[in-house]
Amino acid sequence: MRRWLGIAAVAAVLLLAVEVTTFVLVAQAIGLGWALLLLVVTSVLGTVLLRREGTRGWRRFRTAVGEGRPPGREGIDGLVGLVGPVLLTLPGFVTDAAGLLLAFPPMRAVASAGARRAAESRVPSQMAGQVFGPRFVRARRSPTAPDGTVHDAPVTDNTFRGGGAATTTTVPRAAIEGDVVEGEIVD
């Protein structure tokens, strides 16, 4: 935890230095008054978008819960949708540029997918299935041993009962009937 606080502090100081440098460069290029006006306009725009995106995200989340669907995807998309307006409300042109990038659907989709993968990887498997929905498995054959020996193999149970995620156990090869394939969970 302390390590992350140290990294966050260094990142905040670096961001502040970059923002001040960018502001000075923009103020020299267009004038101090115009630079300040631009910061105020982007902050007001961010405040308006924050309210709109917050309401929209909350509605989608509540709809998913009301319909009995796993709400994780809508929750992550709503949070990513809020990051852009929050960045716009912060004073500075670098954060404004990042906030404007997140306003475009393709960039928001990429950020949502990354945030969803990060959240799914940090949540226990049983809970991830309930929050994010069932997992899909792409299977491929495992290479056989060159000497023809039979080894124990991990087997994935992908029945997904109750929306839970797949579990992996190691069983003796002789106890498995049929072909055994290894799988990986993909989105």
What does the pLDDT look like over 96-113, one tens digit per residue? 999 999 988 899 999 998
CB 116 within 8 A of CB 73: yes
Residues 12 and 96 both lie in one domain:
yes
Structure tokens at 35: 């630079």
Total tally of structural domains belonging to the chain: 2
Residues 93 and 32 both lie in one domain:
yes
Query: What is each CA distance from 81 to 92, 98, 102, 121, in whole angstroms?
Result: 19, 12, 7, 21
* Structure-token match 């906030």, residue found: 99
pTM of the predicted model as reported, rounded to 2 decimal places: 0.65
Residues 107 and 150 both lie in one domain:
no
Residues 172 and 150 both lie in one domain:
yes
Q: Mutual orientation of helices 93-101 and 32-66 as an angle, nearest 10°? A: 40
Residues 36 and 110 both lie in one domain:
yes
For residue 161, is pLDDT > 80?
no
Domain that holds residue 47: 2-122
pLDDT of residue 132: 78
Residues 146 and 112 both lie in one domain:
no
**129 in a domain, yes or no?**
no
Amino acid letter for position 47 = T
Residues 23 and 46 both lie in one domain:
yes
**Please, where are the H alpha helices in the chain?**
2-30, 32-66, 72-89, 93-101, 105-122, 125-132
Residues 30 and 98 both lie in one domain:
yes
For residues 66 and 149, the model is more confident at 66
Structure tokens at 39: 């910061």
Distance from C-alpha of 134 to C-alpha of 2, rounded to nearest angstrom: 35
**93 in a domain, yes or no?**
yes
**105 in a domain, yes or no?**
yes
**128 in a domain, yes or no?**
no
Amino acid letter for position 134 = P
Distance from C-alpha of 155 to C-alpha of 161, rounded to nearest angstrom: 16
Q: Write the pLDDT tens digit of every residue in 39-75.
A: 999 999 999 999 998 899 889 989 988 888 888 888 8
